[in-house]
Amino acid sequence: MTTIHKYDLPIADEVFVDMPEGASVLCVQMQDGLPRLWAVVETTLPMKPRHFRVFGTGNPITKFLMGRYIGTVQDGLWVWHVYEVTA
């Protein structure tokens, strides 16, 4: 069955999220004070870890570590930028 699922996205330099193979990440937003990630998934496919990087505004990054931009979330004074590592 194809559906949209929500995943917790901890604020950490590197985050791995298990989701069905081939899931299509839609966005990342704050909900109930926590960053969440939404993706279109096919629930019958096997689970696969996906690799994300989270960078705070003003923190150093390298292009090598960035990956595909997913979105930005704001939490009071803190602003986080989420990328999926694709290589």
Find the mean pLDDT for residues 22-29: 97
Find the mean pLDDT for residues 61-71: 81
Q: How far apart are CA 17 and CA 38, in angstroms?
A: 11
Q: How many CB atoms lie within 10 A of CB 8?
A: 11
pLDDT at 67: 83
pLDDT tens by residue, 29-64: 999 999 999 999 999 999 999 999 999 999 988 776
pLDDT tens by residue, 2-21: 999 999 999 998 999 999 99
Q: How far apart are CA 51 and CA 33, in angstroms?
A: 22
Number of residues written out for the chain: 87
Q: Which two tokens stand for residue 38?
A: 């939404």
Please name the amino acid found at residue 47: M
Q: How far apart are CA 43 and CA 59, in angstroms?
A: 36
